[in-house]
């Protein structure tokens, strides 16, 4: 039997989505930040899929795992088992910050400027464990790119952070690796992210990404879902205005990117 509406709503915020009328069952979407998963987690996921679902696991374009046709009676056990091996499905759908993506070869690409995996993991853990990053005006995507040979397509995300190398000193900036920031990408709207014109130090990139998200959470359109993505906010705000609000939250100014 189908669960009641309250249960469907409650489970949705835990990453379980009722798929009726096409298929009577839950679909569970697991967050896999940066696409990094351990072998013991995969073994348990395979066992769960055999014992509680269809026996198949889907991999999405944002590096999520999905399990389908979960009977309501099995939903609590499934959630408990994925949590027991350090996986989570919280906030993986609806109006939340979706799984954070990165280069598929992050950490093993000899050509990358920096391994972005630690930044992805730190940002993801903070989001998952802080209530303010749930129930946004609309879904929200963020991606990190370490500058390797295989990109993360970061410019199709609401926030894209791409590593670049500064070869020569530029004002207050010493030579080294920094992150460029782009805002407002959305594949469904055929929009690429716009460069914010700053360079972010690696030590600041997590706090900067969180501040950028907070600005959207506080100012995004909650009255019209068709105009609720970050790209829509940037249709009424300038990039300079968005940067100003971000710096207010940070308590410091971000170095401007040198021309060229």
Q: How many CA atoms lie within 13 A of 100 on its CB side?
A: 26
**Residues whose CB is less than 8 angstroms from the CB of residue 114 and which lie 6 or more positions away in sequence, other chains included:** 146, 147, 163, 177, 202
Q: What domains does the chain contain, in order, with CATH numbers?
A: 5-84 (3.30.70.3340), 117-250 (3.30.413.10)
pLDDT tens for the chain, residues 1 to 260: 788 899 888 889 899 999 877 778 999 999 999 999 999 999 999 999 999 999 999 999 999 999 999 999 999 999 999 999 999 999 999 999 999 999 999 999 999 999 999 999 999 999 999 999 999 999 999 999 999 999 999 999 999 999 999 999 998 899 999 999 999 999 888 899 999 999 999 999 999 999 999 999 999 999 999 999 999 999 999 999 999 999 999 999 999 998 76
Phi, psi of 198 (to 5 degrees): -125, 165
- Return the percent helix, strand and coil in the chain, to nearest 5: 40, 20, 40
């Amino acid at each position: 039997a189908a669960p009641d509406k309250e249960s469907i709503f409650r489970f949705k915020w835990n990453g379980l989505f009722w798929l009726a009328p096409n298929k009577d069952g839950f679909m569970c979407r697991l967050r896999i930040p940066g696409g990094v998963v351990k072998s013991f987690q995969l073994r348990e996921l395979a066992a769960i899929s055999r014992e509680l679902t269809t026996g198949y696991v889907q991999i999405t374009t944002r590096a999520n795992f999905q399990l389908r046709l979960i009977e309501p009676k099995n939903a609590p056990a499934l959630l408990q088992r994925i949590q027991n091996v350090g996986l989570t499905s919280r906030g993986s759908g609806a109006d939340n910050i979706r799984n954070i993506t990165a280069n598929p070869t992050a950490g093993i690409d000899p050509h990358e400027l920096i391994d972005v995996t630690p930044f992805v993991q730190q940002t993801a853990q903070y989001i998952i464990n802080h209530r303010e990053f749930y129930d946004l005006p609309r879904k929200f995507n963020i991606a990190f790119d370490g500058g390797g040979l295989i990109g993360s397509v970061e410019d199709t995300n609401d926030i894209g952070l791409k590593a670049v190398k500064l070869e020569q000193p530029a004002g207050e900036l010493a030579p080294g690796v920094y992150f460029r920031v782009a805002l407002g990408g959305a594949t469904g709207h055929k929009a690429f992210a716009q460069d914010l014109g700053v360079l972010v130090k690696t030590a600041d990139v997590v706090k900067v990404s969180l501040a950028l998200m907070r600005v959207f959470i506080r100012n995004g359109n909650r009255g019209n879902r068709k105009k609720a993505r970050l790209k829509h906010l940037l249709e009424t705000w300038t990039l300079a205005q968005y940067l100003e609000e971000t710096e207010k939250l940070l308590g410091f100014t971000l170095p401007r990117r040198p021309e060229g």
